[in-house]
Amino acid sequence: MSLGRLFLELGAVIMALALVGRAAGRLGITPIPLYLLAGIGLGAVMHLGDVPEKFIHTGAELGAILLLFVLGLEYTSEELRGNLIANRLVGLLDLGLNFTPGLVAGFLLGLPPLAAVLLGGVTYLTSSGIASKVLSDLGRLGNRETPIVLAVCVIEDVVMAGYLPVVAALLIGGTLVTVGVNLFVAVGAFSLAFFLALRYGNVLSRLMNVESDEALLLGVLGLVLVVAGVADLLKVSAAIGAFLVGIALSGEVAERARRQIGPLRDLFAAVFFLFFGLQLDLAAVPDVLLPAALLALVTCATKFAVGWVGAARSGVQTRGRFRAGTTLMARGEFSILIAGLGLAIAPVLGPLAAVYVLLTAIAGPILARFDAQLAPLFDRSAERVRS
């Protein structure tokens, strides 16, 4: 591909993102749903070359990493540790309410048992990238319910550190020893990274805090990518590795890093959501639309319940409970990844997961925006029940 065509195609994609971003600003909503729809539209009218498509794919991965890194900068290691301990029961509730629907749906659709287990993983995981983008766009990073959202996302990634090595080994016919080794490596890597972030974060902050903004940007970005890469190689979420780097940095260096990384995060986060839409094969949609819509309806309700209960346990009032529940609804990149693991044994998993993710990724951010209008309905419903 010529350099000119590459620039033209990438320029057209970025211009489309700019237009839908402006439209979202006019409507007063987060641009996530419009980015997703823009991806579907571009995929229908444009055929990107291999090079632009690979660039967008890589940009999408960078977007997820940077979203979680910047989210990690908002919290200290002590806050995170206390938050996880306080919300461990909410994490168990989340696993029960959101893994089960996918597992049951898999059996009802006649999928092989292992494919049904994979579908349970698809419905279980909240998209940390979408959740963090919603919190940032709507100015809710400092809200009382936000630590609940954060705790649920991190607990889910801890569960995935055990889940993914097991299913991957089973898919390739691994022995019990292979499964055990993979599980030990994944959980051990996460635990070590978490311990280092908690114990030596202040040392890392001093080392990274140089006078030059350029040197700070390069050093922080390089560190984030290295840790994310190592995490991915060890079967731990690359995004959660980046999140732990954000947790480790504190004080002045965290504030400066937030300002320096912010524009890069916004660019690649937009690419991240666009890539979802581009992946959707419209020809496969009719066959999976009904089961995907029913599954989205059920699991949006169950994920909402997790956020509501978690916020209620922390003494958050109705609007905050509503915000926590709706922010957790969206599934995303990890759900697509899980479905992709099982394509060889159940090809329907790909389009089913893509449509399901798209529906939840549109519904969650839109509902989260209208908390002032919708949350009072729950108060009135509760009053009618009591009377």
pLDDT along the chain (387 residues), means of 10: 78 87 78 80 74 80 83 71 80 95 95 93 88 85 88 82 71 67 70 76 84 90 91 74 81 87 86 78 85 96 95 90 93 77 83 88 88 78 53
Residue 375 falls inside a structural domain? no
Q: What is the DSSP letter of 283?
A: G
Residue 135 falls inside a structural domain? yes
CATH of the domain at 213: 1.20.1530.20
Number of structural domains the chain divides into: 1
Residue 311 falls inside a structural domain? yes
Cβ pair 291, 352 in contact under 8 A: yes
Residue 384 falls inside a structural domain? no
Residue 380 falls inside a structural domain? no
Q: DSSP secondary structure string, 115-164?
A: HHHHHHHHHH---HHHHHHHHHHTT-TTSTTHHHHHHHHHHHHHHHHHHH
Neighbouring CB atoms inside 10 A of 173's CB total 7
pTM higher than the cut 0.75: no
Listed in sequence order, the residues at least 6 apart from 96 whose beta carbon sits closer than 8 Å to its beta carbon are none
Work out whether the CA dihedral 31, 37, 39, 42 comes out positive or negative.
negative
Residue 138 falls inside a structural domain? yes
Domain residues for the domain of 242 are 3-367
* pLDDT confidence of residue 236: 65
Residue 379 falls inside a structural domain? no
Residue 374 falls inside a structural domain? no
* pLDDT confidence of residue 181: 73
* pLDDT confidence of residue 161: 64
Q: Residue with structure tokens 């020893």?
A: 177
